[in-house]
């Protein structure tokens, strides 16, 4: 049984009312989940403030409350712990409650705007192929070795992270690869975790609805590397102009990777086809099944990470050649009529540009490239015109449609996107609010050898409209329409 005193280890405490020498059952920040002898941690969120639910938590059986301001009414027999930052406190408490599970495996955090899911998922795949028990915490799914769980956030809350890490300890997992989002870092969800290494992929325009400025977004990412321990490694993409910034104040072993610059891990693209890439990595050639320059970066990050974690470099090259693409990340099918449909999660201007340039590098230009693209509601509005502008300039036809409009009017989102289309591209641009109809239209426009890109939702199997999630799978829908055309 845990005592409150034990799980408050490393928490920055300002004042205590009551005793911390009490046995506690569970820790939670959701007052609805509180039961007898639990500790309630009051978190100030974007939508609600946990301090407003302290009374409710006590009525449900909370024996202790962790807060940043004492409530006006102090209930006798309840312990109140005032801390500097309840987000950080929750992270340390979760780590202690589950017996510091990150110290019993090698945990690697992957951060950056694009590529996090691909790098984390393919590292999981590679280490599984190398014969290890492996864990994965990603946007798409959580894996405790072979057992799969659904993911709800890119970086889950600290209790969820530590609960899964503890399950990994119990399953004998040796390595865990985890996506670390800027939200997760900013909200201290990764505080208290012991990382064996950190990887920086790249930085571009995203989440400015949350971080206000690009500099703030960059500095939040950088803080992850600032907190790595001396025993860890920090692997950074130095072709990105922020790559060296990430390493500036890190105590970790600094290692770099690049395609264009001088780096510890260097790659060169020798061939780029729809069937794969021929890469030269640190003077050794390897054929891989993934395509595009952005995947050359991802594979180099994976190679560097695996070598830093002690795998043999030649064995890593062999395993790279066996890797298969991640769900919703440049997934493609070719119909009987030789129409290629690509589904990709690209939902930032940079990611969309990467995918379109990759397709344009491979194609002969004798065929059409038709792009279906939308932008999410209740998210960064500044990227909407940028994304439509990029799609229009790099495609032969573009269909602007809905993504996950959430609580916004989808037609208003589309109107904002249309502002980014330059006059010379008006003729090739149409807008269809219904995403299914937009995909159907793209299939009807396509002829033999044409390429359709459906961007933005990737692996997602739903569309969120006014708070309701409806079944929606881009890959499934495009397959159906292409099969209909075959008939």
Per-residue pLDDT of the chain (487 residues; tens, 9 = 90+): 899 999 999 999 999 999 999 999 999 999 999 999 999 999 998 789 999 999 999 999 999 999 999 999 999 999 999 999 999 999 999 999 999 999 999 999 999 988 999 999 999 999 999 999 999 999 889 999 999 998 777 778 999 999 999 999 999 999 999 999 988 998 999 999 999 999 999 998 654 455 468 888 899 999 999 999 999 999 999 999 999 999 999 999 999 999 999 999 999 999 998 889 999 999 999 999 999 899 999 999 999 999 999 999 999 999 999 999 888 888 989 999 999 999 999 999 988 999 999 999 888 889 999 999 999 999 889 999 999 999 999 999 999 999 999 999 999 999 999 999 999 999 999 999 999 999 999 999 999 999 999 999 998 999 999 989 999 999 999 999 999 987 7
pLDDT of residue 454: 98
Residue 203: name the closest of 236, 162, 157, 178 by CA: 236
C-alpha closest to that of 463 among 434, 483, 443, 420:
434
Q: Which of 220, 453, 248, 267 is nearest to 353 (CA)?
A: 453
Strand blocks (E) in 213-298: 233-237, 253-258, 265-273, 276-281, 284-288
pTM, whole model, 2 decimals?
0.84
Three-state DSSP class for 22? coil
Quote the pLDDT of residue 211.
Answer: 47
- Give the pLDDT score at 217: 84
231, 183, 230: which is closest to 207 by C-alpha? 183
Q: Which of 388, 378, 385, 399 is nearest to 465 (CA)?
A: 378
Question: How far is the C-alpha of 191 from the C-alpha of 84, rounded, in Å?
Answer: 14
Q: Rounded to whole angstroms, how far apart are CA atoms 171 and 166?
A: 9
Backbone angles phi, psi at 73, to 5 degrees: -100, 120
Residue 460 main-chain phi, psi, to 5 deg: -65, 140
Q: How many CB atoms lie within 10 A of CB 277?
A: 21
- Residue-level pLDDT at 365: 84
Distances 373 to 18, 290, 317, 439 between C-alpha atoms, Å:
57, 22, 35, 10
What is the length of the chain? 487
Q: Which of 153, 113, 150 is nearest to 349 (CA)?
A: 113
pLDDT of 380 reads: 86
Please tell me the predicted confidence (pLDDT) of residue 99: 97
Mention every residue, 6+ apart, whose C-beta is less than 8 A from residue 108. Answer: 123, 175, 176, 177, 178, 195, 196, 197, 198, 199, 305, 309
Taking a C-beta distance cutoff of 8 angstroms, is the pair 194, 81 a contact?
no
* Residue 73, Cβ density class (10 Å: 0-12 exposed, 13-18 middle, ≥19 buried): exposed
């Amino acid at each position: 049984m845990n005592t409150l005193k034990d799980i408050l280890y490393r928490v920055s405490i300002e004042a205590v009312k009551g005793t911390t020498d009490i046995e506690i059952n569970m820790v939670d920040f959701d007052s609805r989940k509180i039961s007898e002898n639990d500790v309630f941690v009051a978190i100030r969120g974007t939508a609600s403030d946990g301090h407003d639910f302290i009374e409710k938590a006590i009525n449900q059986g909370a024996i202790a409350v962790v807060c940043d301001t004492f409530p006006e009414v102090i209930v006798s027999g309840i312990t109140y712990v005032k801390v500097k930052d309840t987000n950080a406190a929750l992270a340390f408490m979760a780590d202690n409650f589950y017996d510091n599970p990150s110290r019993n495996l090698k945990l690697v955090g992957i951060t950056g705007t694009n590529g996090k899911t691909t790098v984390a998922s393919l590292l999981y795949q590679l280490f599984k192929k190398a014969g290890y028990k492996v864990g994965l915490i990603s946007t798409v799914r959580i894996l405790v070795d072979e057992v799969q769980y659904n993911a709800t956030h890119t970086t889950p809350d600290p209790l969820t992270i530590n609960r899964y890490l503890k399950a990994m300890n119990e399953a004998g997992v040796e390595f865990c690869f985890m996506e670390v989002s800027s939200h997760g870092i900013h909200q201290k969800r990764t505080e208290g975790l012991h990382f064996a290494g950190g990887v920086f992929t790249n930085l571009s325009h995203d989440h400015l609805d949350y971080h206000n400025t690009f500099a703030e977004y960059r500095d939040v990412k950088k803080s992850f590397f600032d907190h790595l321990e001396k025993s860890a490694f920090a692997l950074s993409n130095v072709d990105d102009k922020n790559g060296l910034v990430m390493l500036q104040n890190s105590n970790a072993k600094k290692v770099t990777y690049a395609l264009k610059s001088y780096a510890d891990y260097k790659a060169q693209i020798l061939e780029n086809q729809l069937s794969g890439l021929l890469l030269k990595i640190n003077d050794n050639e390897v054929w891989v099944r993934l395509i595009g320059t952005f995947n050359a970066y991802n594979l180099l990050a994976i190679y560097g990470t695996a070598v830093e974690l002690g795998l043999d470099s030649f064995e890593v090259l062999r395993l790279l050649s066996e890797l298969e693409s991640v769900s919703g990340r440049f997934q493609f099918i070719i119909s009987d009529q030789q129409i290629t449909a690509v589904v990709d999660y690209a939902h930032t201007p940079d990611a969309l540009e990467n995918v379109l340039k990759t397709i344009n590098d491979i194609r002969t230009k004798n065929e059409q490239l038709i792009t279906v693209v939308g932008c999410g509601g209740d998210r960064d509005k500044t990227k909407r015109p940028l994304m439509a502008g990029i799609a229009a300039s790099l495609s032969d036809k573009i269909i602007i449609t809905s993504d996950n409009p959430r609580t916004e009017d989808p037609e208003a989102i589309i109107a904002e996107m249309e502002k980014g289309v330059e006059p010379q591209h008006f003729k090739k641009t149409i807008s269809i609010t219904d995403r299914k109809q937009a995909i159907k239209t793209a299939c009807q426009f396509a002829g033999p050898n044409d390429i359709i890109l459906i961007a933005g939702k990737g692996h997602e199997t739903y569309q969120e409209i006014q708070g309701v999630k409806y079944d929606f799978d881009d890959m499934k829908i495009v397959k159906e329409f292409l099969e209909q055309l075959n008939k």
